[in-house]
Amino acid sequence: MVELQPRQLDAVFHALADPTRRAMMKRLAAEPRSVGELAAPYAMSLAAASKHVKALERAGLVRRQVKGRTHLCRLDPQPLEGANAWLSFYRRLWTDSFDALDALLKAEDGKPAP
């Protein structure tokens, strides 16, 4: 299991906290794209798109390959495994709270209607 350092975890969660960056990641999951292609679906300047790509790069989620004048962006999903590892500590808690709710609903079902 990949364990991220606190500062990497900050950068990963910060990168994920924006809908445009999450949408960019989803498109990059299909295939690598240039910054221009990533900016295209949005009413957004190339500079603004580049700022989002930089936040993804700082988190290690995107690798940029410079080919002449084109910056090709590739998704690196590995840091997400670190985020997943961090979340896994809490998995038992949310599973338990669902089980408790389930037990409560089943107990309610067994009772006669008031």
CB-based contacts of 73, cutoff 8 Å, min separation 6 = 28, 32, 33, 34, 35, 38, 53, 56, 62, 63, 64, 65
Min dist CB 96 to its own copies, Å, is 9
The pairing of beta strand 33-34 with beta strand 70-75: antiparallel
Q: Binding residues for its own copies, per CB under 8 A?
A: 6, 9-11, 13-14, 16-19, 22, 25-26, 29, 75-78, 80-81, 83-84, 86-87, 89-91, 93-94, 97
Min dist CB 17 to its own copies, Å, is 4
Please, are residues 79 and 12 in contact by the beta-carbon 8 Å criterion? Answer: yes
Kindly tell me which of 41 and 77 has the beta carbon lying closer to its own copies: 77
Kindly tell me which of 30 and 113 has the beta carbon lying closer to its own copies: 30
Kindly tell me which of 6 and 68 has the beta carbon lying closer to its own copies: 6
